[in-house]
Amino acid sequence: MTILDCAVTPGGCRWDVESVQLPGEVTVPFGALLGGVDLFDASAFGISVPEAVLMDPQQRLLMEAAAEALTAGLRAATSKAARCASRAPSG
């Protein structure tokens, strides 16, 4: 089993750690960040670029995973008689 440490220093790629430090608070310079958030194809989902920028990366992942699952389900359904369902919790 391979152990992967996902906590990274964000560096200057997303925000400046020093600029978000508030007086009297401790800023932790590490985070578990998703890679490739800039690769989201908003137009494929009919989402405007400004709206996509404001979206939570987890929402983007859910949309991409759901689209992938539905595409795979359609391929399976057309190749043989299969029933497919896709559910995502809300709230």
pLDDT per position as a tens digit, 20-50: 677 787 777 777 777 777 788 899 999 998 9
| Confidence check: pLDDT of 18 > 60 | yes
Could you give the count of Cα atoms lying within 13 Å of 76 in the half-sphere of its Cβ? 10
| Confidence check: pLDDT of 81 > 60 | no
The pLDDT value recorded for residue 39 is: 82
Q: What is the pLDDT of residues 66-76, one digit of tens each?
A: 888 888 876 66
The pLDDT value recorded for residue 48 is: 92
Question: By the 8 A CB rule, do 51 and 42 touch?
Answer: yes
Question: By the 8 A CB rule, do 52 and 63 touch?
Answer: no
The average pLDDT across 51-55 equals 87
